[in-house]
Amino acid sequence: MNHTIHTAVSSLMRTVAEEVILPRYQNLAAHEVIEKAKNDLVTIADRESEARLSEGLAHLLPEALIVGEEACAADPALLDGLASELCWIIDPIDGTGNFAAGRAPFGIIIALAERGEPIAGWIYDPLTGRMCHAARGHGASINGRPVVAQTSGAELPLAGISTLFLNPQERADIEARLEGQLDIVSIPRCAAEQYPRIVLGQNDLALFKRTLAWDHAAGVLFLNEAGGMACRFDGAPYLASSDATGMLAAASPAMWDRTAKILFG
């Protein structure tokens, strides 16, 4: 990834966080929080953030399409752009439910994809200033320092299992298979936090059913470039352009294999 672009994207994210997102944190009026769908909120800060990010990214790479979460909510046809030659993928505030409730964590996520394959990603935590970055074939970094994924060292691997989009039977089956095998820990309900937790050894695993591009494209690349493993349940690589569901993320390929055997036999 061109260093100039990396620097420019990072700077844009920090500026939008400072000027748009943080002034609204714990300062939202009731009418500035809208329920798009069940368990899916949007705030005025999400929309303003996406507008600013979209404008800035369009200047950086005019040839790239822009696919933003809120724009797609208004016009689902924009999702077709995920398969384009080059596109920016924007989550203007990941963890909107947390943000709207005035609590951490939440973040900004941006990915650059080539025909659906993530080739660069940025995950920014406005409250701590943590910037996670990865570029295909060039490793991962946090605040400019290379990072390698590490396991927690816990007796039982620490697993964050997102059950919100599992049906009751799926949830019961997974819980039965994991009992005594993994230590199920609470999830942050924020992919911008969950992927860094795995790389930093705070969690060992994460399981997701819904894998929308703006939530996962950057995180999958970040974890894989750090030496971990994130892919579909059958081992297929994650493509932002796919409408497939289900993904397992682990701090190491060995941890992924071990857990896949428990879950899928």
Binding-site residues for Mg(2+) sit at 69, 91, 93-94, 215
Report the alpha-carbon distance of residue 155 to residue 128 in Å, rounded.
29
Cis peptide before 105, with omega less than 30 degrees from 0?
Answer: yes
Contact 230, 219 (CB under 8 A): yes
For 42-102, the three-class secondary structure string (H helix, E strand, C coil) is EEHHHHHHHHHHHHHHHHHCCCCEEEEHHHHHHCHHHHHHHHCCCEEEEEEEECHHHHHCC
Contact 241, 83 (CB under 8 A): yes
CA neighbor of 134 nearest in space, from 117, 122, 143: 122
Report the binding-site residues: 69, 91, 93-94, 215
Chain centroid to Cα 195, Å, comes to: 7
CA neighbor of 107 nearest in space, from 115, 119, 98, 117: 98
Q: How far is CA 59 from CA 12, 14, 150, 252, in A?
A: 11, 17, 37, 37
